[in-house]
Chains A and B, each alone.
Chain A
Amino acid sequence: MLLQQIVNGITIGSLYSLVALGLTMVYGIMRVLDIANAGAYTLGAYLGVWAYTRTHSIIIALLAGVGGAAITGYLFQRAVYTPIKKVADPIVPLVASIGLFIVMEDLFRLIAGPYTITFPVHLPLNRLTLGSVIITGTQAVILLVSAFLFLLLWILLNKTKIGLAWQATAQDVETAMAMGINTRSVVAFAFILGYAFAALAGILVAIHYNAVFPTMGDIPSYKMLAIVVLGGLGNPLGAVVASMVVGLAEALVAGYIGSFLPTDAIAFLALIILLLVRPQGLFASGGDAR
Chain B
Amino acid sequence: MKTLKFGLLMISLLVIALLASACGNGAGNTQSGAAKTIKIGFFAPETGPEAADGTSAYNSAKLAVEQINAGGGINGAKLELVNYDDQLDTKQAVSIAQKLTTRDGVAAVVSGSYSGPTRAAAPIFQQAKIPMISAYAVHPAIPRTGNYIFQQSFSGVVEGAAAAEVAKNELHAKNVAILAIDNDFGHTLVQGFKQRAAQTGLKVQEPNWFHFGDTEFTPVLTKIKDNGADVLFMPAYAAEGSQIIRRIHDMGLKIQPLGTEGLDSTTQFLEVAGKNANGLVIVTNLNRDSKEQVVKDFIKAYKEKYGHEPDMVGASTYDAFYVLAEAMRKSGVTPDKIRDGIANTKNFQAVTGKIEGYDKIGQVIKPVQVQQVKDGAFRYFGEITDPAIITPPVN
A: residues with CB less than 8 A from B are 1, 4-5, 8-9, 11-12, 78-80, 82-84, 86-87, 96, 99-100, 102-103, 106-107, 109-110, 113-116, 118, 120, 127, 134, 136-139, 209-211, 213-215, 218-219, 250-252, 254-256, 258-259, 262-264
> How many residues on B have C-beta within 8 angstroms of the other chain's C-beta atoms?
52
Contact across chains for B251 and A116 when beta carbons are under 8 A apart: no
Q: Report the Cα distance A1→B222, complex, angstroms.
A: 7
Contact across chains for B14 and A99 when beta carbons are under 8 A apart: yes
For B270, the closest partner residue in chain A by CB is A118
Contact across chains for B208 and A116 when beta carbons are under 8 A apart: no
Check A114/B219 contact, CB under 8 A, given A96-B11, A100-B14, A211-B272: no
Check A9/B272 contact, CB under 8 A, given A87-B4, A106-B47, A109-B47: no
For A218, the closest partner residue in chain B by CB is B49
| List of B residues within 8 angstroms of A210 by Cβ | 242, 246, 272-274
| List of B residues within 8 angstroms of A11 by Cβ | 218
B128 within 8 A of A: no
For B216, the closest partner residue in chain A by CB is A12
| List of A residues within 8 angstroms of B10 by Cβ | 79-80
Contact of B213 (CB < 8 Å), options: A86, A136, A264? A264
Check A106/B21 contact, CB under 8 A, given A80-B7, A116-B239: yes
For B238, the closest partner residue in chain A by CB is A116
Find the residue from A103, A118, A120, A254 having the highest chain B CB count within 10 A.
A254
Contact across chains for B11 and A263 when beta carbons are under 8 A apart: no
Interface SS of chain A: helix
Contact across chains for A218 and B213 when beta carbons are under 8 A apart: yes
16 A-B contacts (beta carbon < 8 Å): A4-B222, A83-B3, A83-B7, A99-B14, A107-B17, A114-B55, A127-B250, A127-B251, A136-B250, A209-B272, A210-B242, A210-B273, A219-B213, A259-B208, A263-B211, A263-B216
Contact across chains for B11 and A99 when beta carbons are under 8 A apart: yes
| List of B residues within 8 angstroms of A113 by Cβ | 55
A212: min CB distance to chain B, Å: 10
Q: Report the Cα distance A259→B181, complex, angstroms.
A: 10
Q: Report the Cα distance A136→B246, complex, angstroms.
A: 11
Contact across chains for A211 and B239 when beta carbons are under 8 A apart: yes
Q: How many A-B residue pairs have CB under 8 A?
A: 140
| List of A residues within 8 angstroms of B243 by Cβ | 209
For A138, the closest partner residue in chain B by CB is B250
B271: min CB distance to chain A, Å: 5
Contact of A136 (CB < 8 Å), options: B208, B218, B271, B308? B218
Contact of A116 (CB < 8 Å), options: B14, B52, B211, B219? B52
**CB-CB contacts below 8 Å: B245-291 with A:** 246-247, 250-252, 267-268, 271-274
Q: Report the Cα distance A202→B263, complex, angstroms.
A: 24
| List of A residues within 8 angstroms of B250 by Cβ | 127, 136-139
Q: Report the Cα distance A175→B242, complex, angstroms.
A: 52
B263: min CB distance to chain A, Å: 13
Contact across chains for B18 and A102 when beta carbons are under 8 A apart: yes
Contact across chains for A259 and B211 when beta carbons are under 8 A apart: yes
B372: min CB distance to chain A, Å: 21
| List of B residues within 8 angstroms of A211 by Cβ | 239, 242, 272
B367 within 8 A of A: no
What are the interface flags for B4-27 relative to A under an 8 Å C-beta threshold, 1 for contact and 0 otherwise? 101110110011011001100000
| List of B residues within 8 angstroms of A256 by Cβ | 223
Contact across chains for A215 and B272 when beta carbons are under 8 A apart: no
Q: Report the Cα distance A102→B250, complex, angstroms.
A: 34
Task: Please provide the 10 A-B residue pairs with the shortest distance between their CB atoms, ordered closest to farther.
Answer: A114-B51, A254-B219, A83-B7, A136-B250, A251-B219, A83-B4, A259-B209, A103-B14, A8-B218, A262-B211
Find the residue from A80, A100, A137 having the highest chain B CB count within 10 A.
A80
| List of B residues within 8 angstroms of A80 by Cβ | 7, 10-11
What are the interface flags for B209-234 relative to A under an 8 Å C-beta threshold, 1 for contact and 0 otherwise? 11101111011101100100000000
